[in-house]
Amino acid sequence: MHIRIGYDLVFDIPAPTTVLTLLRVYPTEESRLVSPETPSVEPGVPCDEFIDAFGNRAMRVLAPAGKLRLTNDAVVVDSGVPDQVVPEAEQHPVDRLPPEVVPFLLPSRYCEVDRLGSIAWDLFGKSPLGWGRVQAVCDWVHNHVRFGYEFARPTKTAHDVYSEANGVCRDFTHLALTFCRCLNIPARYATGYLGDIGVPVSPCPMDFSAWFEVYLGNRWYTFDARHNIPRIGRIVMARGRDAVDVALTTSFGPTTLEKFVVWTDEVDGNGASSDI
């Protein structure tokens, strides 16, 4: 199957401001591109592109005062197969984890492993090791946290989500991956495109979404506490410790978002929309 992805974002900027973006597909996803990404910045100012510390494709631009418009459009090929489910995937003792995985056990800005550790062990300490324990975490978060855009705020941490029992997809993700870290399971934050493909169309489509990945059985697997079912058509844009590392745009000065349009639609081989 083919999926058309892209966005049209417009910011109002009162004074020249540096803007950092993570709005390209993750480098390992580039092999899936049928038609290349066509990122555009208006006005046409110079852009500095680089790979950040987490392997994300970043762009830095010094935007002049006025309107800054960021657009992109591409088509990716997808297997149409939902997220993998591998119940036999084993949990590794911490002393046997690859060194590059160990940082994803530690606290980070939104993930207070130290504050939630005893809670995690009380809730999940008797669950089976490995895949079953991660699924128990997802089940609990999915069933105990209420979703709503009105619950979003930029300072909300995993402990806040636990205490308030509400949030948006990033909050579900922060709480679930923090519980996993508390249980000595490496977990990292992921963000990208996730359209309503293979599921009923939502009145509030989540074309940009957050989920997390855990390290089991010598590889990373996808989990999603918000939806808690295997989904079709995830396209990773960025990975990191938490939402700080994967913010799709970061402005080093005042900006106002005026337009936010994202598309993630199944299309035929010629790029035309398909009926699902």
pLDDT tens digit sequence for 27-59: 999 999 998 899 999 999 999 999 999 999 999
Sign of CA dihedral 26, 29, 31, 32: negative
Rounded CA-CA distance 128/143 in Å is 19
Q: What is the mean pLDDT of residues 254-258?
A: 96
Q: For the domain with range 2-78+248-267, which CATH number is right: 3.40.640.10, 1.20.140.10, 2.60.40.2250, 3.40.50.970?
A: 2.60.40.2250
Q: What is the mean pLDDT of residues 55-78?
A: 97
Domain boundaries, the chain: 2-78+248-267, 94-232
Q: Which tens digits make up the pLDDT trace of 128-173? A: 999 999 999 999 999 999 999 999 999 999 999 999 999 999 999 9
> What does pLDDT average to over the chain?
94
Q: Which tens digits make up the pLDDT trace of 227-255? A: 999 999 999 999 999 999 999 999 999 99
Whether residue 268 is predicted with pLDDT greater than 60 in this model: the reply is yes
Nearest to 167 by CA among 153, 184, 186, 188: 153
Please tell us whether the domain made up of 94-232 is placed in CATH 3.10.620.30: yes
